Amino acid sequence: MSAVMRPSTSLTNVYLYRDSIDFRKSFKGLAVLIEQELGHNPFDGNLYAFTNRQRNKIKCLFWEDNGFVLYYKSLSEDKFKRPKKTDDLVTLTGQQLNWLLDGYDISLMQRKERS
């Protein structure tokens, strides 16, 4: 079955927040976190991804034209594999985000360059 609702693989500014968050946060709480903890503008169109403590849920937030879009995925058995901690924020491509959503360990995967 193909993915129906997915963030675009062509996204260039995707940020994965390394620490676990309280998943009771709504889009408003996530926007405040983006602004106050990360110092970013949540209305800039970048996509921000967050995981829960168990790493079996992910929320993605981005601003689209006139409102926030919140993408939520809950895994039934597996866990999302985050890259090793280097900073509070990991920069990803849209393709890497989709690999993460598919359950792959993105620290082991690299896109092949076309020759």
pLDDT digits 0-9 by tens, 33-54: 999 999 999 999 999 999 999 9
Spatial separation of the C-alpha atoms in residues 113 and 111, rounded to whole Å: 6
Beta-strand ranges (E) seen in 1-115 are 14-17, 47-51, 57-64, 67-74, 89-92
The answer to whether position 4 is within a domain reads: no
Q: Could you say which DSSP state residue 115 is in?
A: -
Does residue 115 fall inside a structural domain?
A: no
What pLDDT score does 31 carry? 97
23 within a domain of the structure (yes/no): yes
Q: Kindly report the backbone phi and psi dihedral angles of residue 54, in degrees, each rounded to the nearest multiple of 5, phi listed first.
A: -80, -10
pLDDT of residue 47: 97
3-state secondary structure of 65: coil
Say yes or no to pLDDT of 114 above 80. Answer: no
pLDDT of residue 112: 46
Q: How much of the chain is helix, strand and coil, in % rounded to 5? A: 15, 25, 60
Give dist(CA 34, CA 23) in Å, integer.
Answer: 15
Closest C-alpha to 15, from 58, 44, 50: 50
Does some domain include residue 91? yes
**Phi and psi at residue 100, to the nearest 5°:** -60, -45
Higher pLDDT, 5 or 28: 28
Instruction: pLDDT band for 1, please (50, 70, 90 cuts).
Output: low
Q: How many domains does the chain have?
A: 1
pTM of the predicted model as reported, rounded to 2 decimal places:
0.85
Whether 19 is covered by a domain: the verdict is yes
The boundaries of the domain holding residue 62 are 14-101
Torsion angles phi and psi, residue 99, rounded to 5:
-60, -45
